[in-house]
Amino acid sequence: MAIRLKQSVDALAERVVRKASEYPRIGVALWICHNGSAHVVPLKDSVLSGPGFAGPCLLIGHYRTPCEPENIVEDIEWVVRAVRMGRLH
């Protein structure tokens, strides 16, 4: 199985950084679903239940400011690669 993101990894990382700056105290969670959609949600809304969207989604990470886009890109690429190799479902 492969995940085809609906936006570039770099654009998604920038989106996470922007959203994290909106929630500096609690941070945000990045979820990527198998259909390629990505969800950046405040941590309080995401803790155990997942993003609340249809379809299986993977938690990529929790991010708080300051966070670097490069680190987020590495996290996304690692998960996408692991799914492709069958290590994550």
88 pLDDT band, cuts 50/70/90, is low
Decide if 4 is inside a domain: no
Decide if 57 is inside a domain: yes
Decide if 24 is inside a domain: yes
- State the Cα angle at 39 between 37 and 18, rounded to 5°: 120
51 pLDDT band, cuts 50/70/90, is low
Decide if 26 is inside a domain: yes
Instruction: State which residues form the domain around 59.
Output: 9-84
Decide if 3 is inside a domain: no
pLDDT of residue 22: 95
- State the Cα angle at 73 between 33 and 29, rounded to 5°: 50
Decide if 2 is inside a domain: no
Decide if 15 is inside a domain: yes
- The count of structural domains within the chain is 1
